[in-house]
Amino acid sequence: MSKQFDVVVIGGGPGGYIAAIRAAQLGFQVACIDEWKNAAGGPAPGGTCTNVGCIPSKALLQSSEHFDHANHHFADHGISAMDVTMDVAKMLARKDNVVKQNNDGILYLLKKNKVTFFHGRGSFVKTTLAGHEINVAGKAEEVITGKHIIIATGSNARALPGTPFDEVNVLSNDGALQIGKVGGTVPKKLALIGSGVIGLEMGSVWRRLGAEVTILEGLPTFLGAVDEQIAKEAKKAFDKQGLKIELGVKVGDIVNGKKGVTVNYTNAKGEAVVLDADKLIISIGRVANTMGLNPEAIGLQLDERGAIVVDGDCKTNVAGVWAVGDVVRGPMLAHKAEEEGVAVAERIAGQHGHVNFNTIPWVIYTSPEIAWVGRTEQQLKADGVAYKAGTFPFLANGRARALGDTTGMVKFLADATTDEILGVHMVGPQVSELISEAVVAMEFKASAEDIARICHAHPSLSEATKEAALAVDKRTLNF
Ligand code: FAD
Ligand code: NAI
């Protein structure tokens, strides 16, 4: 007789471990299976996000930003820092320690919430009257049964056909976070394919540390999903930092040699270009991961891209089987995965879990940071919505001046008739934190005037948010 659980979660990333905790809070007997191994072969829950995504990338962004400030901005404050050097090995060790703290924190949380953790790979065996049988292949092998299964198996980096990742020269996000592990040096020349979120964040890290960075982007527009005005402002800042971003390229042959990588491509003018680099990061999106899950055993439906097909409630085509996070449709973001995990646990408990896709924030942690929620100006135009726009530059914000970072702006888009906020777009210092106010406002269906009438602390960057809301009604006070 296999161990019986009310809920079995397959995958311990932000979608999975949060679903497991919420289900346990709701009184269910819960198991969570995750196969990620740390360097010693032990469990490392937290998924892509904790191990090779959100957390380690932000650790490296922070270290490289300190280095950049010491080199380029301390002098403005009267601080002289001579011969600033970067110990790459130490930076990577710090990052690994940040990851470990998060892994350990998640193991603690699972234990605290009485979730039974299994370290190994979960795969479907069959459906019985008692539920769905899952084989767990870890150090030992055992079968467990869940009345409800939540699949949260995440995603993997998409490779370019014919150019497999070797994580030595041709790197996915995994290798991109380990550059310098061997030899402790910063690559002289770094090439990236794809100027999306990973391309810009990882490109920024290594550019700040001194690499010559070239990002090759297939599309003719820069950050097409971002509000055009904001993307333009960000591009100006990246150009100034020496991030070389080539748009509208067609990548051809890639040769992975002993000394580095050669990328042959055609640029936007149709010219053939040969780019030599020490390392190549391929950041062209991610694909849903159902590897080893054996979905056929229960007749689970996948779409043509390999993602698990779910309805608006994250229900699959098999009764009692749910799926959340990167393995299903929608934005591949940790907080989206978490929200879906919570909602599914609550639906299993007969509650009305809800995820509002219109108010999921996006943040790109470059410098300047880029953050947005809701619709862009180009989307409103395409949708034929009459809107009013208001912008406020950080140049006119006292706190930004005191910080020494006045790049960028806050932009509000509000309905022309009702004044309801339809989108808020930001580029500038710490906008990853500022965007939350806009998310809350949109959740409560606030108008631009609501934000404009709320008292914001002075001096704070958040005053730029209030001023942009005032700008919708053409009555900024400080610009
Ligand atoms: P995952 O985090 O991928 O977790 C899936 C887990 O399931 C993994 O541990 C995997 O080992 C395990 N698993 C898979 N199959 C099985 C199986 N059969 N049995 C047992 N275990 C299995 N998002 C943000 O919101 N903010 C960011 O700043 C951010 N930065 C990122 C930076 C990088 C470099 C990358 C690559 C991604 C980043 N993301 C970020 C995206 C974010 O990491 C994902 O959206 C998020 O991790 C998805 O969560 P998930 O739970 O669906 O899947
Ligand atoms: P992405 O979808 O953000 O960007 C991929 C880019 O590659 C696009 O601009 C695309 O046009 C381009 N591209 C695709 N094929 C190409 C080709 N053959 N040649 C040249 N360019 C090509 O994907 P990315 O950067 O790999 O990140 C994956 C996902 O991970 C993100 O979409 C996001 O969901 C998540 N993520 C989130 C972060 C955050 O929230 N801060 C940070 C990093 C990743």
| Contacts (Cβ under 8 Å, ≥6 apart) of 77 | 404
Neighbours of 443 (CB within 10 A): 12
Beta bridge partners of 245: 215
**pLDDT at residue 366, as a whole number:** 98
Each residue of 73-121: pLDDT tens digit?
999 999 999 899 999 999 999 999 999 999 999 999 999 999 999 999 9
Instruction: Provide residues with CB under 6 Å of ligand 1.
Output: 10-16, 33-36, 47-49, 53-54, 57, 121-123, 152-155, 173, 198, 289, 292-293, 325-327, 332-335, 337
Pocket test for ligand 2, best of 284, 287, 332, 333 (most atoms within 8 A of CB): 284
Threshold 0.85, pTM exceeds? yes
Q: Is the CB of 333 under 6 A from ligand 2?
A: yes
Domain ranges of the chain: 3-157+287-355, 170-284, 359-472
Same CATH fold assignment for domains 170-284 and 359-472: no
Tell me, using a 6 A CB cutoff, whether residue 56 lines ligand 2: no
Check: CB of residue 194 under 8 Å from CB of residue 188.
no
Name the active-site residue from 66, 119, 352, 458.
Answer: 458
Does residue 284 line the site of ligand 2, with CB under 6 A?
yes
pLDDT tens-digit readout, 400-447: 999 999 999 999 999 999 999 999 999 999 999 999 999 999 999 999
Name the burial class of residue 108, with classes exposed (0-12), middle (13-18) and buried (19+) by CB atoms within 10 angstroms of its CB.
Answer: exposed
Contact 396, 423 (CB under 8 A): no
The residue-averaged pLDDT of 60-83 equals: 96
- Protein residue with least CA distance to atom 9, ligand 1: 47
Q: What is the CATH number of domain 170-284?
A: 3.50.50.60
Task: Give the chain's count of helices (H) and strands (E).
Answer: 13, 22
Task: Write the single-letter amino acid at 99.
Answer: V
* Separation of CA 345 from chain center: 23
Query: Residue 324: is its pLDDT beyond 90?
Result: yes
The yes/no answer on whether domain 359-472 falls in CATH 3.90.79.10 is no
State how far Cα 225 lies from the chain centre.
14
Does domain 3-157+287-355 correspond to CATH entry 3.50.50.60? Answer: yes
> Ligand 2 centre and the CA of 286: distance in Å?
7
State both tokens at 267. 């640029």
